[in-house]
């Protein structure tokens, strides 16, 4: 009796497993490269929002002029 024998898997199962491994490797590599680039520029990742008044959209500007909806 051979206990080392793995159960048979379909080619589709193997393909999906390998694709998932590739996606995870790519995600980690992208994160690493982005962090290296941010470090090179002396920034913080993820970037922090600038302080100040929030930007106004067209609806906000109309409401402030008394022409609200």
Give this prediction's pTM: 0.49
Residue 66 is given by DSSP the state T
Mean pLDDT, the chain, integer = 81
Q: Is the predicted pLDDT of residue 47 greater than 60, yes or no?
A: yes
Predicted local confidence at residue 13, as pLDDT: 97
**The predicted structure's pLDDT at residue 60:** 63
**pLDDT of 69 above 90:** no
What average pLDDT score do residues 45-57 get?
72
């Amino acid at each position: 009796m051979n206990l080392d024998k793995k159960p048979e898997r379909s080619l589709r199962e193997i393909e999906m497993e390998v694709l998932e491994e590739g996606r995870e490797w790519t995600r980690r590599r992208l994160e690493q490269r982005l962090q290296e680039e941010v470090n090179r520029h002396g920034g913080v990742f993820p970037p922090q929002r600038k302080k100040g008044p929030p930007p106004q959209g067209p609806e906000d500007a109309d409401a402030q002029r008394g022409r609200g909806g």
